[in-house]
Amino acid sequence: MYGLNKTIMSKLVKGFSKFSKVEKINWLAENFFLDKDSGIRTLEQYVNKDSKLQQLHDEFIENTISNFYVPYAIAPNFLINGKPYAIPMAIEESSVVAAAALTAKFWSDRGGFKAEVISTRKVGQVHFIYKGSPEALESYFQAVKDDLIKATDHITENMRKRGGGIVAIELRDKRESLDDYYQLHVIFETGDSMGANFINSCLEAIASSFEKEGIQIVMSILSNYVPECLVRAEVSCKVQDFFPENPRLYAEKFVQAVDIARIEPFRAVTHNKGIMNGIDAVVLATGNDFRAVAAGAHAYASRDGQYRSLTDARIIEEDFIFSIELPLSLGTVGGLTKLHPLAKLSMEILQNPTAKDLMQIVAVAGLAQNFAALRALTTTGIQQGHMKMHLLNILNQLEANVHEKEVITKAFTGKTVSHSAVAEYLHSLRTDQ
C-alpha cells in the first residue's frame, strides 16, 4: 500500500468498528500502549459499574472503549431576573467555578443579573451552483417558493404546533465571492429544541424539491452562526460599590481593560476565551453542543471584520454597567439533554428552563466569568487565585499526601508557584522525615 513499511502497516487496522470492546482494547494495547496492563487498568477504572448506564454511554458515539471524566460542579448564588439559581458546570480548568461563585455572590448583593432574549431565529442554507440567467433563476425561485415550504410540511407539522417552523426562505446571489454560487437562505424557529436534525431534514427536503436541470446542489446544512438568535445579560452598581479601595480608579481600569479587548485582537481572543470558560462549562453540563456555541460566538465577535470583545463596560456618571451580547443556539428538549443522566439532572437543578431561560443563564455565566477575570487582572492580578489551584494540581501530580499538601500550601502562600520549586520542597520535606 503506497510503499508503507511493515511497522507502519502493523499499526493500521481494517474493520475496527466491527471489533468487540475487548478486541478494540486489546488491539490498542498491543500497538500503542507503553505498558499494556497499566493502560488497560486505566481504561477499566473509568468504565461505569452500572452496565446499563455504561451501555448508554457506549451508544453515544462510535468505537467507545471507556469514559473520559470531566469534573461536574455547582456555582451557587446566581440571581437572574430576581430568580435564584445554582448553575451546574462541567469543566477541567482550575478557578473557573470558584470565580463564577464569587462573582455570583458579589452581584447577588447588588441586585443580581438582568438578562433578556433579543431574538431566537436560526439559519440553514442550501448551497448550489447555477450557470444560467440570474433572472431565470429568480423567476423559477418565485414560482416554486411556496412549494419548497410545502415540501417540508411532514417534517414541520409538530414544530408548527409548538410555534416553530420555517419563518422565511430567500434566494441569495453570492457570485461576487464565488463563480456561479447561490444559496437558499432559510430562517427557522425551533422552540425549546436546538433543532439541528430538524433544520437539516427540512433543508434536504427543500433541496430535493428545488433541484432541476441546470441547478447543481452542493450541500444542504444548518449554520452554527446564528446572529439572530441573540441574548443579552447585564449587571450594574454604583461606582462606589465596585471595590473597597479607590472604587472609581478600579472601575475605570476595568472599563479600560474591556476597551482594550474591543480594539486589540491579541487581547480580545484571551478575553473571550475567559467568557467561553463559563459558557462552555454550562453548555456541556446541560448536554448542548459547546463546539457549535463557541464557533458561533467567535464568529459574532468578528462580525464587523475585526475580532473584538463580546462584553462591554461603561461608567455613566456614578453608575458602573457591564454587559454581554452574543448568539446562543441552545435546546432543552431532544438530544443529550434528555438522554444523558447528568444533563437531565442539570436541567432539574436549573428548574427545568425553557430554551430562552437557558440562553439567559448561559449568557450570565459568561458575563460572570469575564467579570471575575477582569476584576482580578485590574486589581490584585490574575495569578493569586489561579495559583492556589495550580499548586494543588502539581501536588496531585507528585502524589503528595494530605499532610504534605497542608504543609506545602502554607509554605507557598504568597509565593511564586512552579513545578520544580514544589517538587524540590516536597523532596526536602520527605527527606527530613
The one catalytic residue among 122, 127, 271, 386 = 386
Active site residue 93: yes
Run of H or E residues at 305: none
Tell me the three cell numbers of residue 45: 477504572
The one catalytic residue among 24, 36, 93, 325 = 93
Exposure string over 294-331, b if 16+ CB within 10 A, otherwise e: bebbbbbbeeeeebbbbbbbeeeeeebebbbbbbbbbb
Q: Please say whether the beta carbons of 309 and 302 come within 8 A.
A: no
Q: Please say whether the beta carbons of 158 and 195 come within 8 A.
A: no
DSSP string for 310-354? SEEEEEETTEEEEEEEEE----SBSGGGTTSHHHHHHHHHTTS--
Q: Please say whether the beta carbons of 66 and 44 come within 8 A.
A: yes
- Cβ contacts of 6 within 8 Å, gap of 6 or more: none
The one catalytic residue among 189, 192, 280, 289 = 289
The one catalytic residue among 105, 114, 273, 344 = 273
What are the angstrom distances between the C-alpha of 249 and each of 37, 278, 313, 375, 382? 59, 27, 14, 12, 18
Q: In the chain, helix, strand, coil percent, each to 5?
A: 50, 20, 30
What are the angstrom distances between the C-alpha of 19 and each of 10, 30, 48? 17, 15, 20
SS3 49: coil
- Cβ contacts of 201 within 8 Å, gap of 6 or more: 152, 155
Q: Report helix angle 419-432 to 383-397, nearest 10.
A: 50
Burial of residue 418, with CB atoms counted within 10 A of its CB: 0-12 exposed, 13-18 middle, 19 or more buried = middle
Number of H helices, E strands in the chain: 16, 10
DSSP 47: S
Active site residue 289: yes
Catalytic residue numbers? 93, 273, 289, 386
